[in-house]
Amino acid sequence: MSELHAGERHWSVPAGSNLLDALNQAGVAVPYSCRAGSCHACLVRCLGEVQDNQPGALSPAQRQDGWRLACQCQVMGDVQIETFDPLRDGLPAEVLSVDWLSPAVLRLRLQPGRSLRYRAGQHLVLWAGAIARPYSLASLPLEDPFLEFHLDCRLPGEFSDAARQLKVGDSLRLGELRGGALQYDPDWQARPLWLLASGTGLGPLWGVLREALRQDHQGVIRVIHLAHDAEGHYLAEPLASLAAAHPNLTIELWTAAELTQALAQLRLVSRQTLALLCGHPSSVEAFSKRLFLAGLPRNQLLADVFLPRG
């Protein structure tokens, strides 16, 4: 057995136990989302014997300072735990606006307490009190004077329920800024670029699209947005405005009922095409399979998956 210590509490767990489970089962509330080492919501500081199954997920400086992702660690001996304290370790941010882009999508704009250097497609952990969730940035650095997030509120959830109550001037805390798989590379300028999203997976690709246009992308850009129904195309008008101003940009709005037929008709125009995918795992998988069958090389596809809680 191993001894865990968190604050004034200590208890025994079997060696090999998952650290996140051992903490939460003992009532030490550590937030989490993906359980895959991507979202960084379960960041804790450890002193003791743990086996880190994904050591590359954090920077060398973070690891040197003792930070670990609890979901990726197994308890191998006695461990002293210090949980992430958003009031101490997080960056304050003020709510600038909260508005509905559709009946299910809430747009949240924040002003951080200091400037953040980030790129389109990255994501941040947002803290509302003790509730934390990672969200992708929909804003564009150097262009937008705020941080923007698109929250899917179709289903109840701790953070989305809290976000519904936010008002202008309220305070949140920001946690870890994470890289994510999505980005725009200026070297792609002449190549066909496809951006395929489902639901609020469109948020980070909205930023990537505007970055590509800001850098005067010369190749064809094809944006495909998959939604449950027509009402779910929450950026239809802004996308149409961009397409009207940029002849190389086309927009396709698919619904779930049209998905099978639309995928079957998907054809590559060039093997130089680059595809960026974002959204629910099942949608990203469906897009990926069709693109591979159409001949897209695997190293020309970048995907960011919005994993459901648990």
- Lay out the sheet containing 193-198: strands in order across: 249-255, 221-227, 193-198, 274-279, 301-305
Over the chain, what is the mean pLDDT?
93
Q: Is residue 243 part of a domain?
A: yes
Domain membership of residue 210 (yes or no) is yes
Average of per-residue pLDDT across 170-180: 85
Q: What is the mean pLDDT of residues 33-61?
A: 86
For 52-98, the pLDDT digits (tens) are 999 988 889 889 999 999 999 999 999 999 988 888 889 999 999 99
Judgement on whether residues 225 and 262 belong to the same structural domain of the protein: yes
Cβ(302)–Cβ(276) under 8 Å? Answer: yes
**307 or 68, which is more confident?**
68
Which residues, including other chains, have CB under 8 Å from residue 58's CB and lie 6 or more apart?
Answer: 67, 68, 69
Place of tokens 């968190």: 6
Q: Kindly report, residue by residue over 258-275, the tens digit of the pLDDT.
A: 999 999 999 998 999 999
> Where residue 308 falls among pLDDT bands split at 50, 70, 90?
low
Same domain, 197 and 162: no
Beta-strand relationship, 171-178 and 147-152: unpaired
Q: In this structure, is residue 66 part of a structural domain?
A: yes
**Cα-only R_g, the chain:** 21
- Give the count of beta carbons closer than 10 Å to the beta carbon of residue 42: 26
Q: How far is CA 168 from CA 96, 171, 172, in A?
A: 5, 9, 11
Q: Nearest Cα to 254, choosing from 296, 277, 223?
A: 223
Claim to verify: residue 280 and residue 193 sit in the same structural domain: yes
Q: Which residue range(s) make up the domain with 221?
A: 186-305
CB 100, CB 25: distance < 8 Å: no
The CATH number covering residue 289 comes to 3.40.50.80
Q: Are residues 78 and 93 in the same domain?
A: no
**Structural domain contains residue 78:** yes
Q: pLDDT category, 40, cuts 50, 70, 90?
A: confident
**96 and 153 share one domain:** yes
User: Of the residues 47, 63, 84, which one is the last residue of a structural domain?
Assistant: 84
- In tens, the pLDDT along 126-135 reads 999 888 888 9
Instruction: Please identify, among 20, 53, 84, the residue that sits at the C-terminal boundary of a domain.
Output: 84
Model's pTM, two decimal places? 0.87
Same domain, 123 and 166: yes
Is 310 inside a domain boundary?
no
Q: 3-state DSSP helix/strand/coil percent for the chain, to nearest 5?
A: 30, 35, 35
* Mode of pairing for the β-strands spanning 67-69 and 43-52: antiparallel
Q: What is the mean pLDDT of residues 120-141?
A: 90
13 is a domain residue: yes
Helix axes 202-214, 236-245, angle to 10 degrees: 20
CA distance 9 to 111: 37
Q: Could you give the CA distance from residue 229 to residue 241 in angstroms, rounded to a whole number?
A: 21
Average pLDDT of 230-244? 98
Residue 267 lies in a domain: yes
The label of the residue with tokens 């934390």 reads 132
High-pLDDT (> 70) share of the chain, %? 98
Asked if the model's pLDDT at residue 309 lies above 60, the reply is no
Instruction: Tell me 18's DSSP state.
Output: B
Task: For residues 209 and 230, state if they share a domain.
Answer: yes
CATH number (domain holding residue 140):
2.40.30.10
Per-residue model confidence (pLDDT) at position 149: 97
Are 292 and 209 within one domain?
yes
Tell me if 224 is assigned to some domain.
yes
* Pair (44, 98) in one structural domain: no
Cα–Cα distance between 113 and 91 in angstroms, integer? Answer: 7
CATH number of the domain at 68, please: 3.10.20.30
Task: Judge if 298 and 191 occupy the same domain.
Answer: yes
The CA-to-CA distance between both ends of the chain, in Å, stands at 27
pLDDT band at residue 181 using 50, 70 and 90 as cut-offs: confident
Q: What is the mean pLDDT of residues 278-282?
A: 94
Please tell me the predicted confidence (pLDDT) of residue 70: 95
Determine contact, residues 139/81, Cβ cutoff 8 Å.
Answer: no
List, as one string, the DSSP characters of 146-159: SEEEEEE-SS--HH
Which two three-digit tokens encode residue 123?
């994501």
Burial (CB < 10 A; 0-12, 13-18, 19+), residue 120, is buried
Q: Which two tokens stand for residue 249?
A: 């940009």
Could you give the number of structural domains in the chain?
3
Distance separating alpha carbons of residues 280 and 228, to the nearest angstrom = 12
- Spatial contact of 80 and 54, defined as CB atoms under 8 Å apart: no
Residues 228 and 174 placed together within one structural domain of the fold:
no
pLDDT of residue 310: 44
- Same-domain check for residues 145 and 239: no
Find the mean pLDDT for residues 250-264.
Answer: 97
Residue 276 identity: L
Residue where a domain stops, chosen among 178, 202, 224 = 178
